[in-house]
Structure 1
Amino acid sequence: MANNHKNRKWTNTAGIVLAGGIRLLGGTLRINCVAEDMSSLPHRRPSPAIYSFWHEMLLMAAYTYSAEICPLISRSADGDIAASAVRWLGGEPIRGSTNHGGKDRGGAGALRSMIRRGKLQHLGIAVDGPIGPRRQVGPGIGVLARHGGMPIIPVGIAPGISKGLGREDLMIRVPMPFCRCWIVLGKAVIIPAGARRGESASIVQRAMDDVQSRAEKYAQGAAAPSSFSIRQMKHI
């Protein structure tokens, strides 16, 4: 009991520090957003949607959308800290991940929870998951979209200057303070009712590759279409 209490206290403290760091760093960034369809913006959606992004861009996703989108966070020690940080940023995560090696890590329960939560609010998923392969869409989002009857909004995120933490397949990108960052929201993707897992993943993969490629081009200086800042987004 004493160890559990110490662990919870440590996790909560680490979550506070992480959330504070995300807020401080995020406040220095110059974030520009591009939306193909204004109804892709969370506050403009007529109904809840699933927002998909790459795992390496978790920090920027957390800063930008934690209070509006309910994220799926893995059941792990690092996930405990991330979940605590999301709560301090104003969000409420769902815990779980896909099954690996035959071990149940809360994937089935998380799917049920996300379907229930998706009737009321937007969901957020790192579609390549915490263990990769990097930038390869897993089958989970297609299953969730079909069973929950929710559209998927692909989100490309790219900081102009960043540092990668961790090995390549588990990397988290940390934007450098005061750099310009780009977020590209694609049009809603609807997964056909009869689509198989591989087909669903391919549909989302193409959409994710498109928005991520565009975000990275804009971050590298390519001419971008009409954009708006994060602060302006709330008033559009």
Structure 2
Amino acid sequence: MKLRNAFLIRLAAWLAVRSMQWLVWTCRVEYRSPDPKTRLDCDFGPDVPERYIVPVWHDLLLFPTFVARRNDLCCGLVSRHEGASFLSAAIEILGGHTIRGSSRKGGATAVKQMIEQSAGYHILITPDGPMGPRREMKQGVIYLASSLGRRIIPTAYHCSSAWRIRGSWTDLVIPKPFSKIIAVSGEALVIPPDLSREELAEWTSRLQVAMDDLHAELEASAGRTPAQEAPPHRAAA
């Protein structure tokens, strides 16, 4: 059943957010990063003025959303589709900020809005959204970083025990109570300005490799392999 009433959407989002906050509260969270200023539990006080672009695969979106310390300093791109109103409301309840747009319709406008409205905020972005293929990097995140002059922080997440809600092209990973969560921030990527099409593609490939390697290293350290996580999904049409 689709919720269309704004009050009911916000109520459902509030209940979902509070439930997830309680669930994550029961978990043990470990933060890892080569730089303390890029850890997700950094408070980003006056001595840490830099703002980053933080890509996260779509299936792992809940992890940075609920383990990051400063949601009030984050903004995210949310689809204009009516069904995304729930997600937008949830982010706002957490103290975050949303920019409504789509990589399919109004994508150029959404990128322009993010460039104009993201001052002072970290940008949390799902580079394989909105319809996949699963964990395949899109060029938008590189274009944003190049246009804004911001560094990109690759991320990876592991949960010792989780539910997986299967979707048409990816899963949604939900940590189980009392599990262990590991949130890893990798080495920052500095993207040059004024990239050509060839350079844009090259940097997209570099970020893909950085995300894949970071995730594989994390899973290996936890005694798992990426292949154990979820069965493959079909590519988006």
TM-score of the superposition, structure 1-length normalised? Answer: 0.82
Q: Which residue of 2 aligns with 1:74?
A: 79
CA root-mean-square deviation: 2.2
Q: Which residue of 2 aligns with 1:201?
A: 204
Residue 126 of structure 2 is aligned to residue 126 of structure 1: yes
| Residue correspondence of structure 1 range 85-100 to structure 2 within 5 A | 85-99=90-104
Q: Which residue of 1 aligns with 2:164?
A: 164
Residue 17 of structure 2 is aligned to residue 19 of structure 1: yes
After superposing on structure 2, the runs of 4+ consecutive aligned residues of structure 1 that deviate more than 6 Å are none
Percent of matched pairs sharing the same residue: 30
**Which amino acid in 2 is paired with 1:29?**
C
Alpha-carbon distance, 1:55 to partner: 0.6
Q: Which residue of 2 aligns with 1:39?
A: 37
Is the Cα–Cα contact under 8 Å of residues 182 and 218 in structure 1 kept in the other structure?
no
Is the Cα–Cα contact under 8 Å of residues 156 and 183 in structure 1 kept in the other structure?
yes
| Residue correspondence of structure 1 range 210-221 to structure 2 within 5 A | 210-220=213-223
**Which amino acid in 1 is paired with 2:206?**
I
Query: Relative to 1, partners in 2 of residues 1:56 and 1:6: Cα closer, same or farther, differing over 3 Å?
Result: closer
SS in 1 for 2:5: helix
Is the Cα–Cα contact under 8 Å of residues 160 and 220 in structure 1 kept in the other structure?
no
Matched residues in 2 for 1:46 and 1:187: separation? 18
**Which amino acid in 2 is paired with 1:88?**
I
Matched residues in 1 for 2:165 and 2:72: separation? 25
Is the Cα–Cα contact under 8 Å of residues 103 and 130 in structure 2 kept in the other structure?
no
Alpha-carbon distance, 1:168 to partner: 6.2
| Residue correspondence of structure 1 range 156-195 to structure 2 within 5 A | 156-167=156-167, 169-193=169-193, 194-195=195-196
| Count of aligned pairs | 213
Query: Relative to 1, partners in 2 of residues 1:221 and 1:30: Cα closer, same or farther, differing over 3 Å?
Result: farther
Matched residues in 2 for 1:121 and 1:97: separation? 20
- Which stretches in structure 2 are left out of the alignment for 5+ residues? 226-237
Alpha-carbon distance, 1:213 to partner: 1.7
Structure holding more helix per residue? 1
Matched residues in 1 for 2:136 and 2:149: separation? 23
Is the Cα–Cα contact under 8 Å of residues 156 and 215 in structure 2 kept in the other structure?
yes
SS in 2 for 1:137: coil
Alpha-carbon distance, 1:77 to partner: 3.5
Alpha-carbon distance, 1:46 to partner: 3.8
SS in 2 for 1:144: helix
Alpha-carbon distance, 1:119 to partner: 2.7
Please say which of residues 210-219 and 49-58 is displaced more in the overlay: 210-219
SS in 2 for 1:169: coil
